[in-house]
Structure 1
């Protein structure tokens, strides 16, 4: 069974940050955090002995034990998975509390996501989430009492599925939003684009989001791919996400990432999100 240190080596920081941080930020931008979703009361599953931190022999400090419990307390253990371990804590800064744990399973990403969707729905929680094709995605819910997003993010990697369990308060993160740097190519008609940037694993991670009033994800995605190519970026194959949404990998020099275009249902138009991991100089 892989250790937490080997997991960090095997899973690129980009994939981890897109799966967890991108989901958290996306929740906030979509308005789920600020009143569009509501939960009448808090819910936490019964304690799971499989996920409970061991009292001794783990090599974790007391603060790491507390952080592991923060990440795991809101979801029951997956029935066919390794024991969960701490992966990261408060890496977005002291003003954005977040704890992330990980587990692995031989089940597919869809099996894991469907399992937790049922768990949340059975407990009366309004489930939010996305599918990133067959290789990953996330489901979760917003806790109004704690102002906290709680997620299960999954990623197919190396013949198994990696699960990331996270609990994070993302409201303060939005206060860091700034204008988009000129080197980031975005559709010219994009409305009110903002970007969040932070350092992680020795690199800069940028998440940019904006909206278009007209067009479908496939139409906007095609125009955006053409723009990126004209600006000297490499673009990967188009993948289907959500219902009618599209996504593709982007790269230029030592900067790589993922662009996602999806419908803003029930509103008109589409949302564009670009997540980039930048190492070294501006591309």
Structure 2
């Protein structure tokens, strides 16, 4: 049975590569990356050496491999293993946390694992960049808490900041805005932006923006504009992108929405 690998580079700041793979027999020789490696195991059991120390991986863990530290990897059981990996640029996390990652590369944290699962799902859709940025910033925050052994919940109640972000999203509904751009304009940390907005309005910024774009598309459709043109004018990547979100929110396609 051959190995199966799917890899791509999403247009999301901080993410260098996404890799989904199944290896029925492959064993990694010792090597290094110049990126932070976040791995979740979906099938099998893996053992690996990191900086001359042995570790094991089961599918309830998140494995964090720091840049420039040698590691290898091989399956423990017949049948191999399946994994999903996100490679982060080296400056996404402080390099002085490399030692902590070497000491504790396996994190048993259901919240972190679920956030990574959700990020992988979003990245596989290819066009939900604001959602991916929002999810990534919460992952980076939690990783930092693990590696510095601080778990105090940050303050999230900030109505004024939430309202200003909503105004910014309303002003740039079709054009869109990255989380980094919003954070720069509002002089706030990206993670605090996401938390403050979600706390105040009951949904994250990316979901609010998508809803506003669907509303905009509805108006254009009712004006008689064709769905293909509406998709781009309302801020969607293409008509299939519009169709997916339109169906999710309204239960019908854009064409059915305006059908006599």
Q: Which has the larger radius of gyration?
A: 2
Q: Which protein has the bigger strand share?
A: 1
Same fold (TM over 0.5): no
**TM-score per shorter chain, which class?**
under 0.3
What is the TM-score normalised by the length of structure 1? 0.26
